[in-house]
Structure 1
Amino acid sequence: MKSSFSILFTILLLVVVLPPWCPTSASGGGQWQLLQKNIGIVAMHMQLLHTDTVVIYDRTDFGLSNLSLPGGRCRNDPNEKVVKIDCTAHSIEYDVPSNTFRALFVQTDVWCSSASVAPDGTLVQTGGFNDGERVVRTFSPCSTCDWKEISNSLVVRRWYSTNHKLPDGRQIIVGGRSAMNYEFYPKTDANAKNAYSLPFLVQTRDPKEENNLYPFVFLNVDGTLFIFANNRAILLDYTKNVIVKTFPNIPGNDPRTYPSTGSAVLLPLRKKNRHSLLSEAEVLICGGTPRGAYTQAQKGKFLASLNTCARIKITDPNPSWVMEKMPGGKGRLMNDMILLPNGNVLIINGASSGSAGWEFGRDPILAPYVYNPDKEPGSRFDILKATNTPRMYHSTAILLRDGRVLVAGSNPHEKYNFSNVLFPTELSMEAFSPPYLETVFDNVRPTILGPKSGKSISYGQKVKVLVDVAGGELNRSLLRVTVLAPPLSTHSFSMNQRMLVLEPSNVTNVNGRPTTFEIEITTPGSPVLAPPGFYLLFVVHHNVPSEGIWIQIL
């Protein structure tokens, strides 16, 4: 423990009697706002950084984008398959507070790549297509920074792979097209230069449809990795390259990973009670397609997508899947699943028939769903307000520090195509405000007054929090703190998305300040629970979150 990093959080909570309905249960709730009509590129990949900026990048071989590179700069790439001299941008940095963006320069092709954020806040992006398939690119956020590229940094080509941060600060890169293995980055020793065979990826590869690309990967609370591909899952001890558990196949045996694209989240990690250790973890998978949907779409037949979610407690000795149906009477594919600050799950974007892939999606679903994991089965879903903009193949969504969800992308074409097509290339950017941001909750919304964002704290550190309650009453049972690792969003999966719920203790009134209380929380006790890096910290009261602040756990 680093006592020099002790932090005093001063938090203002304005608490009055709640309305008779909860902010996550209002049918049709929430608001949409158009932020940018044209950012110039398709948001195929998005990552929020601790500077409140979002790095967005597209493939380089779509042809010319709608955003010029500044200063007459051009890509000159003799290996490029479409435009060898290209003076347009294929990446931007979006500044959330000012709602502005600037062009970034990326040289090699980042199409269908993967990434995670290093402990120091640097975005580390891996792989892609063609000349980018073994490249590692880094972006360190600053007002003038740009991409840096390191050639031949990967052992094998990585295309449609999944990355996950590890407790030691490295990232593991799992799978990809024709890559039935995994490797690590950075390469810290001679053995780390190897690619390690993973037969599970061979076993889950459909010879016609693959269906094991962009596997769902989550770090378990015991340090193993949960890996789901196609219709089944394992726990992998990556330190020994040993499968320690094989889970039952998902009911129905239909595929859920690309191109039969559903989505998945690791549900918020919390203690059973105040005195227990954090020892349970649950995974939720929603949407996907029936087996054969991809090949049927190639023939012009678009099958209805799956309308089920499957939930499993991966820490159980004998785990089993529990099935639930999504609302609305339709299935969903190419849907993004976003952990909200209050621990609920937002399901957004996508379609109800067809498959992922060029021109293969049909029947867009415009309304988000919200899923409350703490409610009883049958009452966990609500339908929220719909957008007017279909978000199909190559759409993305991420949570912002202020509690809004940034939504962008959609391009089911091999090039930018804006006319005479069913779903034109979409260059706009929207924000969805969940119901907890509605003004009716302003009187109960927590407000964090301090400390300054970016503070570094240690594992297992006790942190004192000052809470000011205007009415002089604090409902201790409805007060909690959540910490969230912002993910990379691409192809309907949010890599590295992780939330921990911290229950406050030792709540006392501050002498001489009748409306102010001091509470105490303890940060996660191990990098296995929270890999080192930047997190968003939220205070939640009556299910209404504050704006977040950035903390760095090291």
Structure 2
Amino acid sequence: MDKDNIIFLFLLVLIFFTLQLPSASEMLISGSRRRLQGEWRLLQKSIGISAVHMQLLSNNKVVIFDTTDFGHSNLSLPGGRCRYDPSDLVSREDCSAHSVLYDIGSNTFRALMLQTDPWCSSGAVLPDGTLVQTGGFNDGDRVVRTLAPCTGENCDWVEHNRTLIQRRWYSTNHILPDARIIVVGGRRQHNYEFYPKISGLSAFRLKFLSDTRDGDHENNLYPFVFLLPDGNLFIFANTRAIILDYKRNKVVRKLPSIPGGEPRNYPSTGSAVLLPLDENRPMEVEIMVCGGAPRRAFGLTAHGVYMNALSSCGRIIISSHRGRWKMETMPTPRVMSDMVILPNGDILIINGAAMGTAGWENARQPVTTPLIYRPNRKQNNRFSVMEASPRPRVYHSTAILMTDGRVLIGGSSTYKYYNFNDVEFPTDLSLEAFYPPYLAPEYEHLKPTILFIDEILIYKNPFSVTFTLPRPLSTGTVSVKIIAPSFTTHSFSMNQRMVVLKGVAAVTASSNTYTFTAYGPSTTEIAPPGYYLLFVVHADIPSSGIWVQIQDLYV
């Protein structure tokens, strides 16, 4: 081949590749679009256990655990410790861990010791920051376990056997204004009780739970429970909801059934959230329920048939006596998805599957694309599809908000025991972080940094937040929001709530530094006493969270 032909061929190849490759500006735009659809980062390839349950504590550590009846995990207990349990279904002697304490700041973890089985249990955090975790399976069904937000190698679970009045498996917990915890329902438990329990009293019967039981499949486990600003409880099970005055054990209101007649609770496992409460306007209380599975779906999985999950969401305004469900449609059907309140008030819908139900081997077609739902937009413009995760997260997956605004994702165990080989969805021991769009570099110029705040907030009392911005304050609004971190398992975030605190306009303290005056929550019913993450939000972009403790003036 002569020199002229070689040069000609070289030019053709160069032109071909030039046409195929995006320009630098196109690459920048493409990267920006991906960031504005969120990002995923792997934090830990394996923590040794599957993240079936998670709770963020006020020392920036996350308690994670699965079940002691899965067999040996991939993480040994330190110091040669072992658990001896004659009732264990797999191994009476187990020297592996089934709980870890994950440190957000250092991205490290260490093993914790569990003696009794907390599988499919519930939890809530006391005002002093102690996690109270109730019930479980086998020898753990009447156990109360506590873990304080302590540090050091001696920080571990404390277990109190036979403390619960009834066996609690698949029940729901909620912290109350008087610092007690209510424990609602569970498998074959149509009642509720309190921790600490009331002396001399048994559990309180709740006929609503027996009325919503759907045969052997139940479909009313892990009921959705929310504390309302009037002090009553909203309880949703199967397709129905009530308002319960738990102090008088009286149903004060029956709400309309969610349209469509299909169940939303385990094992049809949808999810639910109390939309942010705003103290700057007349209080509007609204619940949102999303996803689930058709009534026949659970039974059909035994025959290898996997029905499409539900794609509908329903919103109902509880503060209106004429409240009716208003339905919306998600971009994809979802069962077993988690709903996380983000610091700017958006709702992240993440994890789950498009077919089947909760339960062992009962789901197909994982949905790896999160959704962000913006409650205050017009109805047909509220859902945005985010960047897909490389990992399917189906049965026994979890998601919680972290202090810096990232979302911690873990879990997915669709087979009995720890199963890694020759299965469609191996047991997942990893942890990932999802970065919502507000963490993209494109918004750095809008992001506040909190410089100073009182760490103790008193109900109704004013307090100041000093924050700085990279650039002068924009025309966007500034607000102060508090979020109660959730105990998350089986697609429900127990105790999760956001309150937008009453505030006045930010004033300039110095160059690019501002002071915002806000007020502590109005009542303990709006925000029960305890630890919350406080965020300053500017033009829809939140700061990192700061821990505050809300107390009564006389504590």
TM-score by length of 2: 0.91
Give the aligned partner of residue 181 of structure 2. 171
In structure 2, what is the Cα distance between the partners aligned to 1:87 and 1:432? 33
Give the aligned partner of residue 368 of structure 1. 370
Q: Which runs of 5+ in 2 are unaligned?
A: 1-28
Letter in 2 for 1:478: T
In structure 2, the CA distance between the partners of 1:186 and 1:205, relative to structure 1 (3 Å rule), is same
Give the aligned partner of residue 514 of structure 2. 517
Matched, 1:541 2:538: yes
Instruction: Trace 1:131-146 onto structure 2 (pairs within 5 A).
Output: 131-142=139-150, 143-144=152-153, 145-146=155-156
Residue from 199, 215, 229 that aligns with 1:190: 199
Letter in 1 for 2:364: R
Instruction: Trace 1:86-105 onto structure 2 (pairs within 5 A).
Output: 86-105=94-113
Give the aligned partner of residue 482 of structure 2. 483
Letter in 1 for 2:449: T
Give the aligned partner of residue 458 of structure 1. 458
Letter in 1 for 2:184: V
| Per-residue deviation, residues 99-120 of structure 1 (Å, max 9, x unmatched) | 0000000000001000001100
Matched, 1:227 2:235: yes
**1:535 counterpart SS class:** strand
Letter in 2 for 1:161: S
In structure 2, what is the Cα distance between the partners aligned to 1:219 and 1:361? 32
In structure 1, what is the Cα distance between the partners aligned to 2:478 and 2:156? 41
In structure 1, what is the Cα distance between the partners aligned to 2:239 and 2:247? 25
Give the aligned partner of residue 287 of structure 2. 283
In structure 2, what is the Cα distance between the partners aligned to 1:385 and 1:84? 44
- Range with greater deviation from structure 2 (465-474 or 376-385): 465-474
In structure 2, the CA distance between the partners of 1:520 and 1:451, relative to structure 1 (3 Å rule), is closer
**2:394 counterpart SS class:** coil
**1:442 counterpart SS class:** helix
Shift of residue 249, structure 1, vs aligned partner: 0.7
Letter in 2 for 1:82: V
Q: What's the C-alpha RMSD, in Å, of the aligned pairs?
A: 1.6
Shift of residue 504, structure 1, vs aligned partner: 2.5
In structure 1, what is the Cα distance between the partners aligned to 2:390 and 2:479? 35
Is the contact made by 1:336 and 1:347 (CA closer than 8 Å) also made in structure 2? yes
Matched, 1:385 2:387: yes
In structure 2, the CA distance between the partners of 1:130 and 1:163, relative to structure 1 (3 Å rule), is same
- Range with greater deviation from structure 2 (426-435 or 24-33): 24-33
| Per-residue deviation, residues 486-515 of structure 1 (Å, max 9, x unmatched) | 0011000000000001242154334xx354
Give the aligned partner of residue 275 of structure 2. 267
Is the contact made by 2:35 and 2:437 (CA closer than 8 Å) also made in structure 1? no
In structure 2, what is the Cα distance between the partners aligned to 1:515 and 1:421? 55
TM-score by length of 1: 0.91
Give the aligned partner of residue 36 of structure 1. 44
**1:200 counterpart SS class:** helix
In structure 2, what is the Cα distance between the partners aligned to 1:467 and 1:106? 42
Give the aligned partner of residue 433 of structure 1. 435
- Range with greater deviation from structure 2 (463-472 or 438-447): 463-472
In structure 2, what is the Cα distance between the partners aligned to 1:395 and 1:352? 15
Residue from 305, 312, 315 that aligns with 1:311: 315
| Per-residue deviation, residues 1-39 of structure 1 (Å, max 9, x unmatched) | xxxxxxxxxxxxxxxxxxxx9xx9989711100000010
Residue from 146, 150, 153 that aligns with 2:160: 150
Shift of residue 461, structure 1, vs aligned partner: 1.3
In structure 2, the CA distance between the partners of 1:469 and 1:147, relative to structure 1 (3 Å rule), is closer
In structure 2, the CA distance between the partners of 1:242 and 1:439, relative to structure 1 (3 Å rule), is same
Give the aligned partner of residue 7 of structure 1. none
In structure 2, what is the Cα distance between the partners aligned to 1:164 and 1:99? 29
Is the contact made by 1:217 and 1:495 (CA closer than 8 Å) also made in structure 2? yes
In structure 1, what is the Cα distance between the partners aligned to 2:178 and 2:325? 31
Letter in 1 for 2:321: P
**2:272 counterpart SS class:** strand
**1:441 counterpart SS class:** helix
User: Which one has a larger percent helix, Structure 1 or Structure 2?
Assistant: 2
In structure 1, what is the Cα distance between the partners aligned to 2:236 and 2:51? 25
Is the contact made by 2:100 and 2:112 (CA closer than 8 Å) also made in structure 1? yes
In structure 2, the CA distance between the partners of 1:343 and 1:506, relative to structure 1 (3 Å rule), is closer
Q: Which runs of 5+ in 1 are unaligned?
A: 1-20
In structure 2, the CA distance between the partners of 1:431 and 1:493, relative to structure 1 (3 Å rule), is same
Letter in 1 for 2:366: P
Shift of residue 473, structure 1, vs aligned partner: 3.7
Is the contact made by 1:348 and 1:368 (CA closer than 8 Å) also made in structure 2? yes
Residue from 297, 301, 306 that aligns with 1:293: 297
The total of aligned residue pairs comes to 519
Give the aligned partner of residue 336 of structure 1. 338
Is the contact made by 1:28 and 1:386 (CA closer than 8 Å) also made in structure 2? no
Is the contact made by 2:447 and 2:543 (CA closer than 8 Å) also made in structure 1? yes
In structure 2, the CA distance between the partners of 1:294 and 1:120, relative to structure 1 (3 Å rule), is same
Is the contact made by 1:221 and 1:280 (CA closer than 8 Å) also made in structure 2? no
In structure 2, the CA distance between the partners of 1:318 and 1:303, relative to structure 1 (3 Å rule), is same
Matched, 1:125 2:133: yes
**2:466 counterpart SS class:** strand
Letter in 2 for 1:157: R
In structure 2, what is the Cα distance between the partners aligned to 1:331 and 1:170? 37
In structure 2, what is the Cα distance between the partners aligned to 1:292 and 1:311? 24
Is the contact made by 1:215 and 1:257 (CA closer than 8 Å) also made in structure 2? yes
**2:445 counterpart SS class:** coil
| Per-residue deviation, residues 149-176 of structure 1 (Å, max 9, x unmatched) | 1111100000000000000001100000
Shift of residue 86, structure 1, vs aligned partner: 0.4
In structure 2, what is the Cα distance between the partners aligned to 1:470 and 1:131? 55
Residue from 326, 329, 337 that aligns with 1:325: 329
Shift of residue 231, structure 1, vs aligned partner: 0.4
- Range with greater deviation from structure 2 (74-83 or 500-509): 500-509
Matched, 1:80 2:88: yes
Give the aligned partner of residue 4 of structure 1. none
In structure 1, what is the Cα distance between the partners aligned to 2:345 and 2:33? 14
**1:450 counterpart SS class:** strand
User: More relative contact order in 1 or in 2 (CA 8 Å, sep 6+)?
Assistant: 1
| Per-residue deviation, residues 385-429 of structure 1 (Å, max 9, x unmatched) | 000100010000000000000000000111111011110010011
Matched, 1:354 2:356: yes
Shift of residue 449, structure 1, vs aligned partner: 1.7
| Per-residue deviation, residues 351-393 of structure 1 (Å, max 9, x unmatched) | 0000100000100001100000000101000000000100010
